[in-house]
Structure 1
């Protein structure tokens, strides 16, 4: 009996492509990620040099992040319309100029504008990187390329900790951004070696959809970022405005959620009318692609929240400096890098849903181990092991879900996949930090109140002199400074420090256990991820027939053929 077209195609070997495009992709991702990390590491030098508070640097970082998230969907369409390579080259030049602006900043305003500009052009760069991978690599090479792209982010973090940290303490923080300018020049020169990705001049930009997306993302980002400082429900004195005493944070989140619903309704309306959309819903064409997105969001939420809590533990509980903190988390960052790079080796043996389920179990195990072992000594063996285990699971899942989405989408939607990845990354990260902060601080307040009630040597007269309505994570020295302004005796100061230290540690431990629980819950959407290997595609799509519930016919040449996972007898296919 003759082989079917699908079977014969599946055995065809794909010639290995040049790794030059991947070199450009990885170096450019490092360029973009290094810039943000360097700004954080250099915060002390910037605040001193520009005579500005640290909050101004934080505002500049936030501006860049929000600008990227707001315009990334638009950036994908601009790249498709005018050609990804051309748009990429222009964006790399602008990003290099923006970094030169940061290096030469003489005022907080100049720093803010330069960083905001860099964030906006990353919205053009990020989708182009995914297009380069999709247009140059297939099968196992594509999986390896995506793993290295995902690994470039933690790699940039390690480099920033080492290089920017060293520069900031020796020759000056500005040299870190001069180095990024040099990297931008290298990436620009190398990009001319890339093959031209044809421009899709017929692409029409949906400006209404772009406005709805940008507005919703900005509202959600500001809302979640302001939860801790502006108030979860009632407005705090730090809130920029209030409505009948209600904090602006939940109001902005509500408006952002409404805007998000309006955005997806608009996309569906445009699709029914066969009009261009700012984001093609074919990227989320089935329940399996949506489950992959949920798994991605859950991992980014947990990972970003852990990235917030771990440095908080090192700096506040242990009282270490920012540079010491950076060095301490290198094992965690390196483990993310390693697993992102090596997870592609599992794709030929296990389905995405299997890898994702195990990955979330590993993440939960790492967080649980951390929660039960963190004390006041960072060098504990099991603390380091917990960080490494967490990083291994996190890196594997982030690379896996990205590759799964890209493998299931037509090549001409690679930019949309890249934009969607960036969008989910930023929103999930903002939510992760906000929720972790609010939960940990709220828990700390409750634990301190309980601890004070259990210590009769801390009378109500003394407690009334301490601003317990503004509880936050502070070091022991900071607390002693606050108590020095009260009538507390030395014995009472010692008791208060003991209560605060115990509550602080327990709040962080419970918060880490909460993240572990979320990781375990994420096994549910992970179990709905595709049951085929990334890089392969089910017969229903490779044959060019319609997927159930979708009115889009996928061309034959957009996908690679499906190869069943050995031992998987349920016969389930993507989109089924």
Structure 2
């Protein structure tokens, strides 16, 4: 019998839930920060006088830093001790939120998100490692579920608090709250079980460079697809390589560095070294399928969380509070689905839950693309958001549980880093692609309608120049068109075209997201096919690592 199985069969004394308060609040401050950015989008655009895509850059900056350096963060907590490094990261997070609250321009705002992302790159793996050290057995399973619920709860609070404060006071106080909250996490951290670091843990610098370089290039590439060109370089591109877009070049080189990272990691493992990311945590097809599915569902969530506030605040000109109200059904549903899905683990396999959840997401997105109009409070739209929230919330908790329960305790920090890398790279890609897709679709639709409109003569097209307009409200667009000297009838026609183009761009974007949900059924089909009661308690959803089937292990151990 393995040491891990023996340890898991020993009854554990029930621990206080006070340490979980620090762990859960640590998750919430990170999620609150990310969720607050779309809500604050309208206020930031006015404060900094920048387009929506610049605010998206702040979101991408945070996600890029977390994804790029979270594996390094996992090794730091193993080398120097999880509690000590966790506290230092919380201090860095507090400083970043102070900078965010008082940022005078967009450059400082993006810098604050970079620092916040660097801090979160350590916090993310710390949370999983802290749960593994402080809780065992059923308490550990409950703690894992609570961590997923904390993420969803932070999203709800960010939309409510950010919406109210953004409407009546301003966008800055929402981030000021995080300064206080991070200070609370720091003091609560003294209730955590202190575990010494392991001096034998080595940090492989080449792996850090390869992983971070790959993720940064991929993030920058996706974030600039629209501005620099998908294939051929545009006039806005800083450079071109044989006429190719820098965004495409970055994506190609980023993918190459990613391949080099896994090749190097395999070599380090064969030579008996300490890899930056132990490949055994993604050794089985089931674990890799969980990672693929997690990437898709988080990217979909990021795309929706960027697209809807973009449309409500910028296109329709509504307040942050209106955004919060419109997104509340989705966020509440994610919160409850993340908590309640564990009740179905005894009845359905992870494969069945995963496939069913992706079908729900696809149906909800197709429904939204059909029923969405200019009023997000319509009952059919709210129904679509609720259905999507059920699928998304169920998947987040399920996939995290698959990864955590399939790896030994000593690799908990590495599982956390894998989760952080996947989630934040997916968030960066989802936000970037959503922005590029919406603007790109808008440009194509508007230019096509302009050319076909009977009121607008061909010589009026260069004068109106709508191709240079990003997602904007009609008031701002009207002021721009009047400044060009265009006649009133042409201005009215252009506004009508732009209004129709924005709505159609959103509809097409939702359909593309629905197609991605259906494609995710392929990896979901490789999730574990055993119900919780059919597997050993120590690894309810994970595959065996010694080459034997779970059934064989159950028969041998008698569990």
Length-normalised TM-score, structure 1: 0.85
Please give the residue correspondences for 1:127-526 in structure 2 after superposition, counting only pairs within 5 Å. 127-168=125-166, 174-470=172-468, 472-486=470-484, 488-526=486-524
Give the conservation status (yes or no) of the 8 Å contact 2:128–2:412: yes
Give the conservation status (yes or no) of the 8 Å contact 1:332–1:390: yes
Q: Which has the higher helix share?
A: 2
Secondary structure class of the residue paired with 1:465: helix
Give the C-alpha shift of residue 25 in structure 1.
1.4
Give the C-alpha shift of residue 267 in structure 1.
0.3
Quote the Cα distance in structure 2 between the aligned partners of 1:390 and 1:409. Answer: 30
Give the conservation status (yes or no) of the 8 Å contact 1:540–1:546: no
The farther-off stretch of 78-87 and 466-475 is 466-475
Evaluate the alpha carbon distance shift between residue 180 and residue 384 of structure 1 in structure 2; reply closer, same or farther with a 3 A threshold: same
Give the conservation status (yes or no) of the 8 Å contact 2:60–2:431: no
Matched pairs, number = 552
| Residue deviations 1:347-397 (CA, integer Å, cap 9, x gap) | 122111111011111111211221111112222111011111111111110
Give the C-alpha shift of residue 68 in structure 1.
2.1
Give the C-alpha shift of residue 544 in structure 1.
12
1 or 2 for the larger relative contact order (CA 8 Å, sep ≥6)? Answer: 2
Give the C-alpha shift of residue 99 in structure 1.
2.7
Quote the Cα distance in structure 1 between the aligned partners of 2:400 and 2:538. Answer: 22
Give the C-alpha shift of residue 453 in structure 1.
4.8
Give the conservation status (yes or no) of the 8 Å contact 1:533–1:563: no
Quote the Cα distance in structure 2 between the aligned partners of 1:50 and 1:468. Answer: 23
Matched with 1:568 is none
CA RMSD of aligned residues (A): 3.5
Please give the residue correspondences for 1:7-18 in structure 2 after superposition, counting only pairs within 5 Å. 16-18=14-16
Structure 2 spans left out of the alignment, 5+ residues = none
Give the C-alpha shift of residue 455 in structure 1.
3.2
The farther-off stretch of 40-49 and 274-283 is 40-49
Secondary structure class of the residue paired with 2:405: helix
Quote the Cα distance in structure 1 between the aligned partners of 2:71 and 2:551. Answer: 26
Matched with 1:547 is 546
Give the conservation status (yes or no) of the 8 Å contact 1:287–1:528: yes
Evaluate the alpha carbon distance shift between residue 245 and residue 549 of structure 1 in structure 2; reply closer, same or farther with a 3 A threshold: farther
Quote the Cα distance in structure 2 between the aligned partners of 1:182 and 1:285. Answer: 41
Length-normalised TM-score, structure 2: 0.88
Quote the Cα distance in structure 1 between the aligned partners of 2:19 and 2:139. Answer: 12
Quote the Cα distance in structure 2 between the aligned partners of 1:365 and 1:544. Answer: 31
Evaluate the alpha carbon distance shift between residue 422 and residue 561 of structure 1 in structure 2; reply closer, same or farther with a 3 A threshold: farther
Quote the Cα distance in structure 2 between the aligned partners of 1:475 and 1:257. Answer: 37
Quote the Cα distance in structure 2 between the aligned partners of 1:61 and 1:517. Answer: 24
Please give the residue correspondences for 1:23-172 in structure 2 after superposition, counting only pairs within 5 Å. 23-38=21-36, 41-42=39-40, 60-103=58-101, 105=103, 111-168=109-166
Give the C-alpha shift of residue 507 in structure 1.
2.3
The one of 515, 525, 528 equivalent to 1:527 is 525
| Residue deviations 1:434-488 (CA, integer Å, cap 9, x gap) | 3333333333333334434543332212223232543643333344334334565
Give the C-alpha shift of residue 223 in structure 1.
1.1
Evaluate the alpha carbon distance shift between residue 358 and residue 331 of structure 1 in structure 2; reply closer, same or farther with a 3 A threshold: same
Evaluate the alpha carbon distance shift between residue 488 and residue 535 of structure 1 in structure 2; reply closer, same or farther with a 3 A threshold: farther
The farther-off stretch of 90-99 and 212-221 is 90-99
